Structures are given as structure tokens and as C-alpha cells.
A = this chain, B = another copy of it.
């Protein structure tokens, strides 16, 4: 058995865990990121977290894997302009931590980390190739083909969230229209629910948020659906349709018919997954229909730490 440390660097918290080569988390802690204090403070906090995890462990550690937001050069370990991290231009995170911790350090962006995590510890045990989709504030992704992350020419491949399903559709933050992120990104979901609920005065969602829409999260919609709220059920199905429509283009182009969906909104569960699968089956090219597989990420809530740990077990 081998052991590594996985670090999930988020905007509000840094999650650090000791993970074995079977993907089991043996210990974990969370520290505040304190992003507003700038890169030095954040790096100090990461170091502190890793050392806390390593304290009282006699295990030999293979290295530290870090999943981080922003544009990452995984070869150099640099992090560029992560959103919500003021003061970060380009930071040599890998190099700095390698020196401070005297360990092997691998840095990847969070979407790639999720895909590699799923490959090493999740559905990758069964599938050599799949399209990974992560549903969160944004809609990210990664393409795993023959057990390798497909990076494209500049390292930015896998932007499933910016497949457009309607060139006149919802305006996306990226400047384009109809990107599936502009339907399934958390803020877009919340905004559309707020707007649409006016037509559904009887929805249980009003009660769940105490008539205060600032309490509304994607989780509220799931709760409402579990309470058989018609609006919430239809909303989740609709989101599945949008995601499925985008995936049809991806699957037709890549001939990779296995899809793994993770991130918070994936918690909508069977309602969402059935809708995604039915939409794909309805529209995808004929020879692909019999091979379509849609799965929920196996890493779920622990995808951050486990994915970061998986970076040390992935063959670069």
C-alpha cells in the first residue's frame, strides 16, 4: 500500500487528506483559505495543513497532489489567475511547495483533477475512456481516452461546459450563447428558478427558503423534488435535457460513449441521470446508441481530496 497527501484548494477552504493507493481517506482536515490575504498566506496555510496531516503518521508519503482553480501548467506546477484569489498573477505553487515540504508535488486544475480522480479511484477501474463532467459554479470537464487525460494542444481540452446547444440561447459568462454552463452552472440554475417560480406560487420551494430567495441553493430544488414538488421535478428533468443535448455533440465527435457526472448538482440523482441518458439516446448517432453509459461519479463529496491524491498515482 502506498500513501499520498491530497490537497483540494478551494476559494473558501483548503481540504487536506491522507489517502492510500486504494483511494481510502485515512485522515482529513479543512483550513480556511484566507484567499483575501494573498498567495503567501494561502501557501503558508497549505503547508500547515499538509504538516498537520503528516504529524503523527509514520507512513512514508509518495508526494503531495494539489487540485487548484485557474489555469495550471501541470508541467511547471504554476497557477495563473485563479478566480477569487486576489493578488495571484502567476504563482509557482509546485516549486515553492516542493522546496518547503521536501516532497514530490503535482498541481492540476480542478476539472482535470476530478477526471484523473475518477480514472484512478472511481469508474476508471472499469472504463478506460469516458467524458467527465463536473457540475458546480461552472460546468467543467475532462476527456479520458485510453486511460490518459486528453489535454489538446494548449492543455485546455475538456471544456464540456462551453459546448453550445443553442446559438441564440442563454448568455454565458464566457461571452458566447447557449453554453451548457449557462443552463447548469449553479448561479444560472438559481437565477432561472427565481424567475420561473413566479408562475408556481404553490411550489414547496417557497416554504423551504422561508419565502427568502437568498436562501435558495440547488440543494433546495432537490429537497423540493423529493417532496414531490412538480415544478422542482420538471426543473431537474429540464436540466438533464440541457446537459444531455450538449453531451450528444461531445459523444458524436469523440466516439466516447461513457459519461461520468460529478459535482454538487449531480446530487439531483436519478431524476437528473435518467433525463441525461434519455436525451442522449434520443439524439446521438445510431451506431453509438447501444454503447451509451451515464454514471454518477464514484468519488462524490470526496472528489476534491481523492482527485488530488490520484495525481500521484496517475502515469503522466
Contact = CB atoms under 8 A, between A and B. Distances in A.
Contacts of A151: 255
Contacts of A174: 285-286
A153 B253 contact: no
B245 A159 contact: no
Contacts of A141: 253
Interface in A249-266: 249-250, 252-258
A285 B168 contact: no
Given A163-B253, A248-B176, A287-B71, A129 B153 contact: yes
B164 A288 contact: no
Residue picked from A129, A155, A162, A287, most chain B C-beta under 10 Å: A162
Residue picked from A157, A167, A176, A284, most chain B C-beta under 10 Å: A167
Interface residues of A, number: 47
A291 B167 contact: no
A83 interface: no
Contacts of A253: 141, 143, 157-160, 162-163, 250, 253-254
Contacts of A254: 150, 152, 157, 253
A156 interface: yes
A283 B151 CA distance: 21
A156 B286 contact: no
Given A145-B152, A166-B167, A286 B249 contact: no
A255 B156 CA distance: 6
A165 interface: yes
A201 interface: no
A93 to B, nearest CB: 19
